[in-house]
Structures are given as C-alpha cells and as structure tokens.
Amino acid sequence: MKKLIVLGLLGIATAATAQDEALQKDFAAIESKVIEWRRDIHQNPELGNREFKTAEKIANHLKDLGLEVETGVAHTGVVGLLKGDLPGKVVALRADIDALPVTERNDLPFKSTVTSEFLGEKVGVMHACGHDTHTAILMGVAEVLSKNKDKIKGTVKFIFQPAEEGPPPGEEGGALLMVKEGVMDNPKVDAIFGLHINSQTPVGTIKYKSGGTMAAAQSFTIKVKGKQSHGSQPWSGVDPILISAKIIDGLQTIISRETELTNEAAVITVGKIKSGVRFNIIPEDAEMIGTIRTLDYDMKDKLNARMKEMVSTIAKAYGGEATCEIKDATDITYNHPKLVEQMLPTLKEVAGAENVVIQKAVTGAEDFSYFQREAPGFFFFLGGMTPGTMESYPHHTPDFLIDDSGLLLGVKTLTQMSLDYLNSDKTPRLETPIRG
C-alpha cells in the first residue's frame, strides 16, 4: 500500500513538473513579443477615450488567439473572454491603456513624437506612467493562457481599460464607466487582479499591501466672492485674494491639527488659484482648485465636512462669501485581506520570497478601486527600475523610463495567479465597505 501511494505521488509530481516546464517554455517564447508590443504602444500613445489604434491592436491580438472579444466598452475599451476546458470560477485581469499629455524627453529609439490636443492646447503625448507596459504584459498573459486552456478551471476575463488618468472634461470614462456598462458581469467576476509598473522599484521586485493601498482621490473647487475696489483703497472693498490665502492656510490645519495621521495619511493640495486682471484692482472673485487624498473612509467624510464648513466660515469672517464643491475621482484601492493571503504564496513562488515586499500605503490613486467595489481585488506593484541605477525618474514626468527586462515577471505573475486562483476552492467574499 505504501509503495502504491509513493508511486502515485511521484506520478502527480511528474505531471506538475511537466506542466511547469510547458509554462516556462511559453514564458520564454513570449518575452520578446511583449517587449515589441510595449515599444510599439509606447511610440504610438493615445490619450484617454481616444485610444483607437491601441484598442484595435489589442482586439486583433485577442481575436487571433481565439478569444471572445468585445470592443467599444466605455468608448475604447476591449474585453476578452477565455474559457478553460473545465468549468469553474471567473477571474478578471485588468490593464489600463491610456497615455498622458506629456512631451517625452529622452533618447529612446522608440521615443514618442506624437502630439495631440488637450484642454484646447497642443501637447505632446507620452506613456509617462507605464500603461504601455501593463497593456503588453496582459497581451502576453492572454497568449500564454490561451495555449494552456487545459490547465484552466473556469474563465479568465481580460479587461483593457481606457482613460485611467481620467476622461476628457464633459465625458464619462475609465473603470467607473466600464463597471456601469457591466464589465464585471456576464459572466460575473469572482476576483480581479491588476498590477502597476514602478520606475523607482528594482526589476524583479514585487511590492504589495493588504487593505487600503492607494488613496481615494477627490477634486475640489472653491469659489470666493468679494467686493471689487481700487487697489489703493482696500478698505472700500472685500479682497477675495486675501480670503483665498486665509482659506489655503486653514485647509492645511485640517491635516496638521485635526487629522489623526498615525492612522492613515491624508493630503489636501491647492493646485491652482485664479483671480484678478490688473495690478491695481482688488478683484471681485477668486477660484481655487485642488485635490484631496484619503486612505480611510471615516477620515474622508470628516475632511470633506470640515473643508466645506471652514471655507464658508473663513470667508464670512473677512466679509466675503465662499463655496466648496467636492467631486470623487477614484475610491480607495482596497486589497481584500483574505485574497491577498490566498495569493501571496503564488507571488513568492514566482518572484522568490525575498523579492516580495510589503510596502506602506501611497497617496497616489487608481480607478482600479471601482472594480474592487464589485469583487474582491488584489492590486500590486511591479519593479521597472534597472537594478543599481543611481537615478530614476518619477511617473508623469518627461524623463520617465522603464526597464523592459521587468515585464516578463509581470506576465508570469498574472498567469500563475490566474491558474492558482481558479484551481483553488477558496473564494473570498466581498466584505469591504462599498462607498461612493
């Protein structure tokens, strides 16, 4: 009996080894393609809701692989469906496909020279946040998994999302619109995974955090009403610029004196102030716009309430009036703790335990958060910096660079996470707060 058990275990081990070897061959074959796709997309970037050529490239690739493909989702999004040979759960994988209004400043042979129009101005267009790498990685995952349908117990839904950086003014877009159009249904998604390349994390490293990992982002507009007068007679008017200065100062005390920063980080930033037309005229009004970043729902509610209260009160104290309008841009990117716990062994197996690192929450934002409202999700960071590099460039800057040698780890990780999740009986339920 013992001998039979041993032989049986050896047979299982041999089959697992053969499966692993087959996947490794597929990974080795896909790397050069992923790099080629990434460089082509990088050289031909498109702004949010205008990713027509990028979407066509993705759709043609998925169709060639034999996937069920839907185009025109949330304007320019593409969704591919891959059904495994065995029935089971549904896992979704997401990549964002849009670029930024940034003029590229480097000597790469595949440097972008594309220009477009943004907010009425002619601008350079650049993949200055790495969405080109996300797209190429997910195209690679789709090709590897399509060759291994016999290993898939269930269904993989590939979501190529437009306008992660935000849709043009007056338009809907991004993850929120994809969810609104039903991307997480038909078939209903049980879990969703996503990654983000990072230019300041060495190649080969994966960083993650359970729970709140990226901030909710909100925009605010403050309008101040004063009374116009001659600049030489300030006592005869109400100065909206002075009131604006007092409001800006007051807003920072909400963070520094009223927010429990040992709990989670929070930020209020005024990014623009506009008022007046001439040096010797006290204007009638002023306008400020800015952003709020929070990682805790209760803190978010408190900051919003205090801002509205403080803005109107300060303006009134100086004889003016002011309003504060706050709009949501993204929700908190919340990694489901049980899903993280379930998938952590996969990350460590693929990347090596020493290369999987817990990180602190960041105040950057991601609309991947809207998918996590609908199903448990896990969003992590992939190293894209050349190891040993003395200087790296931040995202959203003209000098932003990514080392292509980091892309294959992304392909391997998302592929293995999909297989391991679908072949597991564990299915964490959505327990996180669903907030607007």
Residue range 266-283: average pLDDT? 97
Q: Which of 26, 96, 132, 164 is catalytic?
A: 164
What's phi and psi for 384, nearest 5 deg? -130, 10
**What's the pLDDT band for 19 if we cut at 50, 70, 90?**
low
What is the reported pTM? 0.88
- Which amino acid appears at position 137 of this protein? I
pLDDT in tens, 311-320: 999 999 999 9
Residue-level pLDDT at 431: 64
Using the predicted structure, report yes or no on whether residue 27 has a pLDDT greater than 70: yes
pLDDT in tens, 144-178: 999 999 999 999 999 999 999 999 989 999 999 99
* Residue 104 annotated in active site: no
Residue range 47-66: average pLDDT? 98
pLDDT in tens, 353-405: 999 999 999 999 999 999 999 999 999 999 999 988 878 999 999 999 999 99
Pairwise CA distance, residues 251 & 268, whole Å: 7
CB–CB of 152/86 below 8 Å? yes
**What's the pLDDT band for 213 if we cut at 50, 70, 90?**
very high
- Within 13 A of 152's CA, how many CA atoms are on the CB side? 22
Residue from 22, 43, 384 nearest 195 by CA: 384
Residue-level pLDDT at 6: 46
Which residue shows structure tokens 């697992």? 16
Residue range 252-259: average pLDDT? 96
**What's the pLDDT band for 10 if we cut at 50, 70, 90?**
very low
Helix (H, G, I), strand (E, B) or coil at 390: coil
**What's the pLDDT band for 427 if we cut at 50, 70, 90?**
confident
Residue range 13-22: average pLDDT? 60
Pairwise CA distance, residues 336 & 199, whole Å: 25
**What's the pLDDT band for 248 if we cut at 50, 70, 90?**
very high
pLDDT in tens, 196-206: 999 999 999 99
**What's the pLDDT band for 429 if we cut at 50, 70, 90?**
confident
Domains, the chain, ranges and CATH? 22-215+332-422 (3.40.630.10), 216-330 (3.30.70.360)
Tell whether the torsion through CA atoms of 397, 402, 408 and 413 is positive or negative.
negative
Q: Which helix (H) or strand (E) holds 225?
A: strand 216-225
All residues at 6 or more sequence positions from 120 whose CB lies less than 8 Å from its CB, including other chains: none
Residue range 111-132: average pLDDT? 96
Pairwise CA distance, residues 46 & 162, whole Å: 10
What's phi and psi for 68, nearest 5 deg? -75, 125
* Kind of pairing between the strands at 285-294 and 216-225: antiparallel
Using the predicted structure, report yes or no on whether residue 20 has a pLDDT greater than 90: no
**What's the pLDDT band for 413 if we cut at 50, 70, 90?**
very high
Residue range 302-309: average pLDDT? 98
* Residue 349 annotated in active site: no
The mean pLDDT of the chain is 94
Using the predicted structure, report yes or no on whether residue 279 has a pLDDT greater than 50: yes
CB–CB of 80/158 below 8 Å? yes
Q: Which of 46, 96, 98, 285 is catalytic?
A: 98
Using the predicted structure, report yes or no on whether residue 13 has a pLDDT greater than 60: no
Using the predicted structure, report yes or no on whether residue 15 has a pLDDT greater than 60: no
Residue range 93-122: average pLDDT? 96
Tell whether the torsion through CA atoms of 37, 384, 81 and 155 is positive or negative.
positive
Q: How many residues does the chain have?
A: 436
pLDDT in tens, 58-71: 999 999 999 999 99
